[in-house]
């Protein structure tokens, strides 16, 4: 379908088939809720004031406004779906409401390039999983060559609770973290800026309706608790992590910054790109009953291409375009999104609308599909060479990492996630 919003037609990310939700502001103004359509943002408050919604769509639009999407996420799926269906009716080419909308176009549509995009919801809790099996194997081999995967990995979706307060929207730079580092040739740790700063290629899951404390979410109903998806870069200080992670896991090595793409891509938009969960290798255990659902196994995975690019200061100075480091796919997930939800709540843990999950690094099986420099450089042993002749084992000040994702399939509009990008600033108190 084409849209009367011309820039949407053929748009690689935000065609009429997508319609992701987000929060934006203009020139320091108030935060508003909108929908990405081509190069524009459709202002939900203006559309609501113009009387363009009724019934369930009106309920959903009313919940979505106000500068954060938590109340919208909390709605049942059928109510959120009603708003999506109404937006398609409003934005499709030849819509009966097109003339009325065009009369208020100067207020209804805002150029995305003129807007600041924000974290779309108030995040109370953030959990990062470890469902990318190739990443788990690659990292495990660096530390345990003979036993890369721990015995529990194929039985349970591993995860840790992260820090919600440092999750920021794409485009916001972050400061290189400092912490305790134990150098290989030293008997005692030092306090210093991280020397082994890394990115992690991940997908984020936005929790929709929550659950009652003490009541697990059944695997068969887990999809009803998923409001949408985004891209996530869970920046990692590998040297701080190596010293601190035993016995309780990541702490300061992860909590300094996590960057997300600002648009919430809905499960409905991704429906044409569902696929079967890849078959487990022969000999792998069958998931325990609370993690196993036939429908989830046959349609619970997604075919989403994931890309990582780097732009260094030297590349900027020379006018060199960002170079791709990695091409991976969400099909490299060993556990599905529904299994992540079911496992997180199996002990009665309460999820709330707007909670965020990360998948963990989604690497592929070869070097060109690895989702972190730790893997690509094999712990710093084999630097990555860039077109400018620069070498990278880990990130340097001024480097910018850009993550993109896209779904494509014959007969369907392209679905993109927008960009998830950030620049590394020098450590606190340092200028370079």
**Could you give the residue numbers annotated as active site?**
135
H helices of 132-282, where?
133-143, 238-244
What's the first-to-final CA gap in the chain, in angstroms? Answer: 50
Distance of alpha carbon 296 from alpha carbon 123, whole angstroms: 27
Question: Is the CB of residue 340 less than 8 Å from the CB of residue 131?
Answer: yes
Question: Is the CB of residue 331 less than 8 Å from the CB of residue 275?
Answer: yes
Q: Which residues are annotated as a binding site?
A: 128, 130, 144, 200, 202, 234, 241, 245, 254, 258, 361
Q: How many residues does the chain have?
A: 432
125: helix, strand or coil: coil
CB atoms under 10 Å from CB of 380, counted, come to 15
Residue 75: which of 85, 63, 84, 87 has the closest Cα?
Answer: 63
Q: Which residues are annotated as a binding site for substrate?
A: 130, 144, 241, 245, 361
Q: Which residues are annotated as a binding site for Mg(2+)?
A: 234, 254, 258
- CA distances for 184 relative to 43, 228, 242, angstroms: 55, 43, 11
Distance of alpha carbon 324 from alpha carbon 344, whole angstroms: 34
Distance of alpha carbon 79 from alpha carbon 233, whole angstroms: 31
Rg of the chain over Cα atoms, rounded to whole angstroms, equals 22
Q: Kindly state the helix (H) or strand (E) to which residue 107 belongs, with its residue range.
A: helix 105-108
């Amino acid at each position: 379908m084409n849209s009367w919003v011309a820039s949407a037609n053929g748009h690689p990310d935000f065609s009429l088939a997508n319609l992701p939700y987000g929060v934006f502001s203009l020139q320091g103004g108030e935060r508003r809720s909108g929908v990405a359509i081509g190069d524009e943002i459709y202002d939900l408050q203006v559309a609501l004031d113009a009387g363009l919604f009724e019934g369930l769509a009106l309920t959903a639009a009313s919940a979505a406004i106000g500068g954060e999407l938590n109340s919208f996420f909390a709605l049942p799926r059928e109510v959120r779906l009603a708003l999506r269906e109404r937006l398609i009716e409003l934005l499709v080419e030849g819509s009966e409401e097109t003339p009325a909308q065009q009369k208020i176009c100067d207020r209804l549509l805002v150029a995305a390039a003129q807007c600041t995009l924000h974290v779309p919801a108030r995040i109370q809790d953030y959990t990062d999983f470890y469902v990318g099996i190739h990443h788990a194997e690659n990292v495990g081999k660096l530390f345990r060559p003979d036993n890369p995967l721990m015995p529990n990995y194929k039985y349970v979706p591993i995860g840790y609770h992260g820090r919600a307060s440092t999750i920021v929207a794409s485009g916001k730079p972050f400061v290189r973290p400092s912490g305790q580092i134990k150098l290989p040739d030293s008997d005692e740790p030092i306090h210093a800026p991280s020397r082994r700063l890394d990115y992690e290629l991940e997908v984020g899951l936005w929790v929709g309706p929550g659950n009652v404390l003490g009541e697990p979410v059944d695997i068969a109903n887990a999809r009803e608790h998923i409001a949408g998806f985004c891209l996530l870069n869970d920046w990692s200080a590998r040297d701080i992590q190596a010293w601190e992670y035993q016995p309780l896991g990541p702490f300061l090595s992860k909590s300094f910054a996590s960057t997300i793409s600002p648009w919430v891509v809905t499960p409905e938009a991704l429906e044409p790109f569902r696929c079967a969960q890849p078959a487990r290798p022969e000999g792998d255990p069958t998931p325990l009953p609370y993690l196993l659902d036939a429908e989830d196994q046959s349609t619970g995975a997604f075919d989403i291409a994931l890309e990582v690019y780097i732009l260094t200061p030297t590349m900027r100075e020379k006018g060199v375009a960002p170079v791709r480091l990695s091409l991976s796919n969400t099909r490299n997930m060993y556990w599905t999104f529904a299994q992540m939800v079911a496992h997180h709540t199996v002990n009665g843990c309460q999820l709330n609308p707007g909670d965020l999950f990360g998948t963990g690094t989604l690497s592929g099986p070869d070097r060109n599909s690895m989702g972190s420099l730790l893997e690509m450089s094999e712990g710093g042993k084999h630097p990555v060479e860039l077109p400018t002749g620069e070498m990278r084992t880990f990130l340097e000040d001024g480097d910018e990492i850009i993550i993109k994702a896209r779904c494509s399939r014959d007969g369907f509009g392209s679905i993109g996630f927008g960009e998830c990008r950030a620049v590394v600033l020098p450590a606190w108190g340092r200028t370079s």
